[in-house]
A and B are shown apart, each in its own frame.
Chain A
Amino acid sequence: MQLPPVLRSVMGGERWLEAQGNSIAAVLADLARRHPALGLHFFDEQGAIRRNIVFLHDGEMVRAKDAGARRIGPDDEIVLTNALAGG
């Protein structure tokens, strides 16, 4: 998973992180387990993936609410970014 620039400061500047999981949601959960500081930024108090973040996978934009259903392969790359509102 590629982190956006602002979240790289949480991980010592790392841009790409390796993770395990067969869905985008599972990948986030794996990263949150191994890096709790990052987990704060993925999940809100209700335990839901923050709705203001979206993912780019296989040429498509995937919203937070669809992260659980989005299947990924072992060598897939995911870009985490924030929802854009123009301007």
Chain B
Amino acid sequence: MPVSLVVGTPKGAAVLNSKDGRSWDEDFVLRGWPCTASARDDQGRVYVAVNSPNYGVAIFVSDDLAEWKQLASAPRYRPEDRGNAEHHRIVSQMDFTGMLKGGGRFVDQIWTLHFAHGALYAGVSEAGLFVSRDRGESWQPIDGFNNHPTRDSWTPGFGGLGAHTILSDAKNPNRMWVGVSAAGLFRSDDGGKTWNPKNKGVNPAVDSAPASTGQCIHHAAHDPADANIIFRQEHRGVHRSDDGGDTWQVIEDGLPVAELSDGHRCSFGFPMVMDRRSKSVFVVPLDGDNFRFPRGGQLAVYRSDDGRHWRARTKGLPENCYAGVLRGAMAADQNGGIYFGTTSGSIYGSHDLGESWRELASGLPRVMSVEVCAA
């Protein structure tokens, strides 16, 4: 079965194509653009978000993964929107000309693109949600989220204040979820007009953070056709909800548990994907937030088949790997294929739900996102 992957890196995007899942050819496109997220719509158009510290955020599109055109519009805040000072402090490392000193709110990165019910959504930092209903030609802010009543309590994570995860309900276009580091998961039941924090049962990122909006969610995954069951990778562990996020339970049986910098013990990692046909969920644990590499150097993907217990899948993965896997750098093709990229520039793939792995590409820059864009 033909598969194409779009791999976002700080230097451009690698497009990997395979007709049979075994041999792959590779092209490197959008050269010079940091590519941070990608998605495909229901007509097969692929969108890749880019951000440049010099030239800002934009979106490129392609209908064939070969020719790319930049859209004339991108998610942008209004001039009157005010920024988060702590987020500015974190992201100002590249702001040596002082753009952020005026206190405005800027879209400095598109963390995720998500297509659902005919609309394209963008989750961005500084944390916000935008929607396009014309295939990216124009964008509108979702003010109910961007100006949430609790926004003043939102604290950035290590990488800033970012809305990095979007989930949707295939049976209900009015219901969706957005994950923010480090404010937690929010759900709307009215098409984005209002949002409620959905973090009950999840420990805040630090003990001093707000109980309801202080969670450092790293990623989440579910089957949109069975949307109530949601899996969640937090800074503080792996969780499951059976009620759309109203309540959460820790599900770490079989996962490696690490000690975090504050002494808390839990399973730490970033990416999380689900294969919808088998309902299997995949994570890539790292050895805590101090080290952020695989325990003992053994790169391992853990799989849960029942949504509660986990087992390591390491066949074909390196034993001497001290690179990580970022939250957006894993994807499932929904035909048994699982793919992920490391911060050391390798792409690994499995065609048997993680039972065995093979390195598909190497020598890439740090992999920031992996998306299956044709299958």
Contact = CB atoms under 8 A, between A and B. Distances in A.
A40 B33 contact: no
Nearest to A43: B56
A61 interface: no
B53 A52 contact: yes
Interface residues of A, number: 23
Contact of A45 (B33, B55, B106): B106
A7 B97 CA distance: 20
Interface size class of B (residues with CB under 8 A): 20 to 34
Given A46-B102, A52-B99, A85-B96, A41 B52 contact: yes
Interface string A42-65: 001111101111000000000010
A50 B104 CA distance: 13
B134 to A, nearest CB: 14
Given A9-B31, A37-B71, A83 B102 contact: no
A50 B55 contact: yes
A45 B31 CA distance: 25
A9 B104 CA distance: 29
Given A6-B33, A51-B98, A83-B54, A45 B70 contact: no
B76 interface: yes
Given A5-B32, A82-B54, A37 B72 contact: yes
B79 A40 contact: no
Interface in B103-128: 104-107
Given A6-B52, A82-B55, A51 B99 contact: yes
Contacts of B104: 44-46
A44 B106 contact: yes
A50 B74 CA distance: 16
B47 to A, nearest CB: 14
Given A9-B33, A40-B76, A51-B99, 14 more contacts: A7-B55, A9-B70, A10-B58, A36-B72, A40-B58, A41-B52, A44-B99, A44-B106, A45-B76, A45-B78, A45-B79, A45-B107, A52-B97, A82-B55
Interface of A: 5-7, 9-10, 36-37, 39-41, 44-48, 50-53, 64, 82-83, 85
18 contacts: A6-B31, A6-B32, A6-B33, A9-B32, A9-B70, A37-B58, A37-B71, A37-B72, A40-B73, A40-B76, A45-B77, A45-B81, A45-B106, A47-B79, A52-B55, A52-B96, A52-B99, A85-B96
